[in-house]
Amino acid sequence: MTLLERINKPNDIKKIPQDSYEELAQEIRQFLVEKVSMTGGHLASNLGAVELTMALHLSLNFPEDKIVWDVGHQSYTHKILTGRRKDFDHLRQFGGMSGFPKRKESPCDSFDTGHSSTSISAALGMVRARELSAGHGTVVAVIGDGAMTGGLAYEALNNVSHLSSNLIIILNDNSMSISRNVGGMPRYLNDIRTSNGYIQLRDKIYDSLNDALPIVAKSISKAKQSLKSLMVPGMFFEDMGITYLGPVDGHNVKDLVKAIGSAKRVNKAVLIHVCTKKGIGYGPAEKNPSKFHGTPPFDIETGMPKKAGKKPSYTDTFSSAMLRLASEEPKLVGITAAMEDGVGLQRFHIRYPNRFFDVGIAEQHAVTFAAGLAAGGMKPVVAVYSTFLQRAYDQIVTDVCLQKLPVIFAIDRAGIVGADGETHQGIFDLSYMSSIPGMTVMAPKNRRELADMLRFALSLNGPVSIRYPRGTAYDGLRSCYAPLELGKAEIICDEGGVLLLAVGSMVRTAEKVREILAERGLACSIANARFVRPLDTELLRSAAEHYSMVVTMEENIHSGGFGEHVADWYQEEGLRVPLLNISIPDGFVQQGTPEELCRLTGIDAESVAEKILEKTAAAKKAEG
């Protein structure tokens, strides 16, 4: 029996002998590589956090104690150690185990995460709840150095400084190497400063001096701070009232356990600075941790994806379009929030380094920064995933749209994205962007139209958003093309009958729906909406006279979406038109393949065709 096979429920790791920790870590890494190579998932971050997670499970009791994993993509080892090893065969698959912490999945998952910089806020809330309920248990927030670029983390740190009970914050720093020449002094200082005897003696001496000789006490305090500034590497945190421990080797289980034990003795917030290496233990991931941050299924021997011959994606199309436009427009600048590779701005960065800005995991700052650039005469393009842009809604409203500034939002991963689940589905952007006055909202039907929309957006003197899906870019309907005109849809085919008025990615679905309906003897026309705001009211008015039904199609939730805007316009105009809204039902969409999730939500071609046929039959029956 392997060591890993002896761990089947929470806290089983404590039965493993200390001299076997290194072997266990090796088994866990081998297991992760084997499973993720088959299902895909976040690999590099999980390989880097193996020993850290082992140390936490050796130091804590689950589910009484709580860990809040920032983002949560590094929680695979935690899932293994809490008895979910057998669930990895269906990792990130429909109906299977999530790649992120899920409270509904296990009582050992204390908080659902998926977005960055939230862990300290959530952990602080748990500590306050513990205090109010006179509860017990240790609360730990694990946050990466990348997530510490998010402003929310610092808002939380500001509040954490007022704590008078224990909270452990682990800063998982995987971008800094460990300096052995200074390792001994921090460990020595940590042992002294976190021992109960030292803390009690220090406080007792200072209180006595302060009562009898306040001037002397003040001088001693100043001297102590000056000495600490020289000796303690984490003075930034110390100055905020947070005890700093570290740096600690994040791949040494015994050192980590010792640091966590020291931190548990302090009745205030403690930050443990842990240094780890992303991808450690698997050569390809060590050499290219970005590639293995989120990876599709791959060949273990080579590290190469199993599916070869990748066709251009919408992200690739956006990347090429940005290069072409930048050569023509010297004021064009690109902005990303720590997603240079993901949003396709890497080539732009290389070609135009002075016109590229990565602001870190700080979407709010990215938007207001872009507004400042626009106010200064530049033409900024903010490239961001749909699910992350919603964090900056206030800035879009107040800093961009209220001032009518020409900021372009290139919204990647819009619609259903698949395996990352509820926190990453981009199904809200049509609703939240089209709700803002003055915002032009577009969606391309294919890769050519995306490039043209980006060029068109640069010609508009106001805020614009262009949303496009994840994955291979649709290359069909290239021969069917009308020049872009603000607020005007494009007729793809006009054969009377039912009008399918489709937004972006749903144009491709509409083609399939038309084929199904033709087989059933129902005439069907297709229009590419192009614009969600402003609406093509001329087409809508004409449609009321020339088509038996108008079917709006969008890969977005129902509330506040394109279909609702169309229905509202018809109502305001007093026009009675048979309408069918095809959209994602209000709610959160689980993980799975896009095809599975489209069927689940009823926006696949077969489901849409069936709904149209049912509504048509009902209308005929009512007439008869």
**Per-residue model confidence as pLDDT tens digits over 549-561:** 999 999 999 999 9
User: Which top CATH class is 4-287?
Assistant: alpha beta
Q: What does the pLDDT average to over 222-242? A: 64
Reading across the β-sheet that carries 464-467, which strands appear in turn? 356-358, 332-336, 379-385, 408-412, 464-467, 440-442, 531-533
- Categorize the per-residue pLDDT at 204 as very low, low, confident or very high, splitting at 50, 70 and 90: low
- Categorize the per-residue pLDDT at 307 as very low, low, confident or very high, splitting at 50, 70 and 90: confident
What's the pLDDT score for residue 178? 28
Q: Single out the residue of 85, 73, 80, 68 nearest to residue 44, CA to CA.
A: 73
**Would you give the DSSP letter of residue 15?**
G
Q: Which residues contact 287 (CB under 8 A, 6 or more apart)?
A: 279
Task: Tell me the HSE value of 590 on the side-chain side, using a 13 A CA sphere.
Answer: 15
- Categorize the per-residue pLDDT at 211 as very low, low, confident or very high, splitting at 50, 70 and 90: low
SS (H, E, C) 20-84: HHHHHHHHHHHHHHHHHHHHCECCHHHHHCHHHHHHHHHHCCCCCCEEEECCCCCCHHHHHHHHH
Tell me which CATH code domain 314-467 carries: 3.40.50.970
- Among residues 278, 379, 413, 530, the one annotated as catalytic is 278
Is residue 310 over pLDDT 80?
no
Q: Compute the distance between CA of residue 223 and CA of residue 59 in angstroms, rounded to an integer.
A: 35
Q: Compute the distance between CA of residue 482 and CA of residue 490 in angstroms, rounded to an integer.
A: 7
For residue 624, count CB atoms less than 10 angstroms from its CB and return exposed for 0-12, middle for 13-18, buried for 19 or more.
exposed
Q: What percent of the chain has pLDDT over 90?
A: 84
What's the pLDDT score for residue 235? 82
Phi then psi for residue 249, to 5 deg, are: -65, 115
Task: Tell me the HSE value of 111 on the side-chain side, using a 13 A CA sphere.
Answer: 24
Q: pLDDT tens across 350-399, in order?
A: 999 999 999 999 999 999 999 999 999 999 999 999 999 999 999 999 99
Asked whether the beta carbons of 470 and 413 are under 8 A apart, the reply is: yes
Structure tokens at 570: 């018809």
Burial 350-384 (b: 16+ CB within 10 A, else e): eebeebbbbbbbbbbbbbbbbbebbeeebbbbbbb
Given the candidates 3.40.50.300, 3.40.50.920, 3.40.50.1970, 3.40.50.150, the CATH classification of the domain at 491-623 is 3.40.50.920
Size (the chain), residues: 624
- Among residues 92, 193, 391, 470, the one annotated as catalytic is 391
What's the pLDDT score for residue 181? 28
Q: Compute the distance between CA of residue 327 and CA of residue 340 in angstroms, rounded to an integer.
A: 19
Residue that is written with structure tokens 């939230």 in the block: 118
What's the pLDDT score for residue 234? 75
* Sign of the alpha-carbon dihedral angle for 120, 123, 124, 125: positive
By DSSP bridging, strand 139-144 and strand 243-249 are unpaired
Give rounded-to-5 percent helix, strand, coil for the chain: 45, 15, 40
Q: Catalytic residue at 29?
A: no
- Give the DSSP H/E element, type plus range, for residue 611: helix 605-623
Domain boundary assignment for the chain = 4-287, 314-467, 491-623
0.85 surpassed by pTM: yes
Q: Compute the distance between CA of residue 334 and CA of residue 380 in angstroms, rounded to an integer.
A: 6
What's the pLDDT score for residue 575? 95
What is the SS3 assignment for 317?
helix
* Average pLDDT in the chain: 91
Task: Tell me the HSE value of 136 on the side-chain side, using a 13 A CA sphere.
Answer: 5
Q: pLDDT tens across 579-608, in order?
A: 999 999 999 999 999 999 999 999 999 999
**Amino acid at residue number 475:** D
Q: How much is the CA Rg of the chain, to the nearest whole Å?
A: 28
Q: Compute the distance between CA of residue 354 and CA of residue 581 in angstroms, rounded to an integer.
A: 45
By DSSP bridging, strand 498-502 and strand 549-557 are parallel
Q: Compute the distance between CA of residue 248 and CA of residue 264 in angstroms, rounded to an integer.
A: 16
Is residue 416 over pLDDT 80?
yes
Is residue 488 over pLDDT 50?
yes
**Would you give the DSSP letter of residue 180?**
G
What's the pLDDT score for residue 450? 97
Q: What percent of the chain has pLDDT over 70?
A: 90
By DSSP bridging, strand 332-336 and strand 379-385 are parallel
Is residue 215 over pLDDT 50?
yes
Is residue 518 over pLDDT 80?
yes
Q: pLDDT tens across 252-301, in order?
A: 999 999 999 999 999 999 999 999 999 999 999 999 998 899 999 999 99
Residue that is written with structure tokens 């494009």 in the block: 490
Is residue 342 over pLDDT 60?
yes
- Categorize the per-residue pLDDT at 227 as very low, low, confident or very high, splitting at 50, 70 and 90: very low
Structure tokens at 436: 């803002």
Q: What does the pLDDT average to over 68-81? A: 97
Q: Greater confidence, 262 or 217?
A: 262
Q: Greater confidence, 333 or 1?
A: 333
What is the SS3 assignment for 171?
strand
Structure tokens at 315: 């992200």
Q: Catalytic residue at 554?
A: no
Asked whether the beta carbons of 84 and 106 are under 8 A apart, the reply is: yes
- Categorize the per-residue pLDDT at 175 as very low, low, confident or very high, splitting at 50, 70 and 90: confident
What's the pLDDT score for residue 251? 97
Q: Catalytic residue at 265?
A: no
Structure tokens at 243: 């005890």
Q: Single out the residue of 176, 178, 385, 175 nearest to residue 289, CA to CA.
A: 175
Asked whether the beta carbons of 468 and 412 are under 8 A apart, the reply is: yes
Q: How far is CA 182 from the centre of its chain?
A: 36
Is residue 200 over pLDDT 70?
no
Is residue 217 over pLDDT 90?
no
What's the pLDDT score for residue 220? 47
Q: pLDDT tens across 94-141, in order?
A: 999 999 999 999 999 999 999 999 999 999 999 999 999 999 999 999
- Among residues 51, 340, 363, 564, the one annotated as catalytic is 363
Is residue 180 over pLDDT 60?
no
DSSP characters over 552-602: EEEEEESTTSHHHHHHHHHHHHT----EEEEEEPSS---SS-HHHHHHHHT
* Sign of the alpha-carbon dihedral angle for 522, 525, 529, 532: negative
Is residue 223 over pLDDT 50?
no
Cross-strand partners of 333: 380
Q: Compute the distance between CA of residue 132 and CA of residue 364 in angstroms, rounded to an integer.
A: 33
**Amino acid at residue number 387:** T
Q: How far is CA 405 from the centre of its chain?
A: 26
Q: Compute the distance between CA of residue 508 and CA of residue 502 in angstroms, rounded to an integer.
A: 9
**Would you give the DSSP letter of residue 396?**
I
Q: Compute the distance between CA of residue 71 and CA of residue 78 in angstroms, rounded to an integer.
A: 14
Q: Compute the distance between CA of residue 528 and CA of residue 492 in angstroms, rounded to an integer.
A: 7
Q: Within the chain, what is the greatest distance between any pair of CA atoms?
A: 99
CA angle (451, 501, 593) in 5-degree steps: 70
What's the pLDDT score for residue 164? 92
CB atoms within 10 A of CB 212: 9
Q: Which residues contact 154 (CB under 8 A, 6 or more apart)?
A: none
Q: How far is CA 440 from the centre of its chain?
A: 24
What's the pLDDT score for residue 623? 77
- Categorize the per-residue pLDDT at 481 as very low, low, confident or very high, splitting at 50, 70 and 90: confident
What's the pLDDT score for residue 192? 36
